[in-house]
Amino acid sequence: MANNPEDTKNNNPTNLQTKVNNKSDSEKETRLSPPKPLPSITVESEGEKFINEIDRSSQDVDLSSQIKSSADQSNDPKIGDLLNNRYRLEQELGQGGMGSVFKALDLHRQEINARNQYVAIKILLPALSDDRVLVVGFHREAEKSQKLTHPNIIKVFDASRDGNRHYMVMEYLEGKPLNNIISQHGAFPLKNAFPIISAIGRGLAHAHENNIIHSDLKPANVFILAGSNEVKILDFGIASELKITGNKDETIFNPRMLGGLTIQYASFEMLNGSTAADPRDDIYAFGLIVYELLTGKHPYNKKSASEVFLEQKRGTFIQPLPPKELTARQWQLLSQAISIEQDRRPKNLQKWLTAFEFNEKRLPRHFIFPIVTIIVVLISVSVYFLVEKNRSDISQKPKILQTKPPIANAGKDQSLFLGETIWLDGKASQSTDSGHLYYHWKLTKNPIGSQVVLLDQDTATPHFSPDTIGQYEAELTVVDSQNQTSQADTINIAVSKPLPRLVLNASKDTYYIGEYLQVNIHSSQDGYLGVVYLSSTGVKLQIFPNGYQENSHIKADQNYQIPPKEKLKMLKIQGPAGIDTIIAVFSHTQLPDLEKYIDENGNLSETLQQNDAIVEKITYRVIKNSG
């Protein structure tokens, strides 16, 4: 791209130059000294921003139309393709009904020599990219997935587009999907299966607590990481949201209407046209997975719920056999989970997990008969020895070995920010008889107005998400194998207001000299903002506030664009080539001129750091125009 002849007249040594467009005068170049500043900054909500972008790039599609069956083959993603000059596709990992998944190299992370340089990228099929409803839904569901922060759910980092390609960026995992593991190894013993069952259940319950229903849970969407054996639930990107009164997104996108289901694991309601998301749809699929783990096969031989329903009505249905190691109570719980009728399935997965919890001391049903036989023999022997004992010296009584009660250890006091989840840990508790410990936690103190509930309270590591700022107190008692109870141990949890979070990004990762810079900023809290540009040669320039955006006070959860839309050609890239930096500084108090407080490496002075200032940085590459 050739430079404008007028651009060569200015010998400003910085990479960045501002340009102001006056209605009455010809175009003039200046360093942020415009004669007519705008009265306010342009603010645009996230949803409006994306929908407007879709509107500009695609035509409206009839909401009742079918998904197009033909695609532009030239737009199919291929190995070696580069998305937004950042993600290079290196290996195709799999294909699904709505898109392909690739292993991709993040060139930004490679540039800074980050430890994890690879990501997984799901790219929407080209055949679906013209359906506006589906595309908007794809991005909105990605936003919902980003909210699901849980160790057993795959992390979704971002969703974006490159031309007509819409994609989702996720963490890259190495391991095997659960369907492959079951196919290779068959049934799992209960003690080996339960950690997987519990991990899937906890991740799914977390999603349900956040009003997200997976809608396509199956063994192929459960991933076991190599080495650590950690469990991750995949593909929340097409999840459904529980219908909540007043939810403005509720009619925008519904994957059930698009056929994004796997019939062998879909509930009867999903297969028969229900568009209302319900946790019991996921619980049905979860129950099928539990059964497969314990037996190596699908309880209904891969038949759909609709087929099983018809067999039940015809009287030809054969009840699946209970897994061998389950107690009667556990089999009752699992039978309810895989019930074809929704009303029979449990509504709360967390409660189901607590009731189903594996306990090595419990004995399965097939052990009952041998035990009864042994007891009868022991009774007979006991009668004999009782008679003999009366003939002996009854003064010699055996001594009963007594042990000290167990010791509960609730761990050290903790502090966290509102919105985070706290995981308690009682595993440091001690049993004096070297036997198994049984845990019981309870919340003994909540701030006024808090209605939080402690989850998994009968395990060593329960958790909860505080809903109010203040002091919480949890109490732990443990019971040993001799039924001795420990004294209670408590832990205090201080919950405070979260630190502000800044999201900062540039419109591009790489700029040619002569192009125009655009920066977008979002803050989670009200406060004051300052933004400084730092060239690769060390030249500093404060670009916000500026002559068009004079008010440095910003509001929470709003997007701010620098420069404003009306002056997109204000910040011009002048060169030389190199790596430029944008530094955003947020504070709850008025900020001074930041050029004086930022050094040539982009570091903030200690004076401002002591005032609780928050700093966020991004970099972008400046290159010469080859044309």
| 3-state SS track over 553-620 | EECCCCEEEECCHHHCCCEEECCCCEEEEEEEEEECCCCCCHHHCECCCCCECHHHHCCCCEEEEEEE
243 is in an annotated binding site: no
Helix (H) or strand (E) holding 271: helix 268-271
How many Cβ atoms sit within 10 Å of the Cβ of residue 68?
14
Backbone φ/ψ region at 267: left (φ over 0), alpha (ψ -120 to 50), beta: beta
Candidates 434, 490, 491, 429; CA nearest to 460 is 429
Helix (H) or strand (E) holding 167: strand 165-171
Letter for the amino acid at 173? L
What phi and psi, each to the nearest 5 degrees, are found at residue 579?
A: -110, 115
Q: Distance between CA atoms of 177 and 219, rounded to whole angstroms?
A: 7
What contacts 143, CB < 8 A, 6 or more positions away? 46, 159
Q: Distance between CA atoms of 119 and 160, rounded to whole angstroms?
A: 14
3-state SS class at 231: strand
User: Can the peptide bond before residue 545 be classed as cis, meaning omega within 30 degrees of 0?
Assistant: yes
Token pair 């569901």 is found at 141
- Asked if 219 and 188 touch (Cβ cutoff 8 Å), the reply is no
Going edge to edge, which strands form the sheet with 414-417?
414-417, 489-496, 470-479, 438-445
Task: Return the structure tokens found at 1.
Answer: 């791209």
- Paired strand residues for 472: 493
Candidates 282, 269, 278, 347; CA nearest to 309 is 269
Estimate to the nearest angstrom the gap between the alpha carbon of 427 and the chain centroid: 26
How many Cβ atoms sit within 10 Å of the Cβ of residue 401?
7
- Asked if 468 and 497 touch (Cβ cutoff 8 Å), the reply is no
Binding positions for ATP: 122
Binding positions: 122
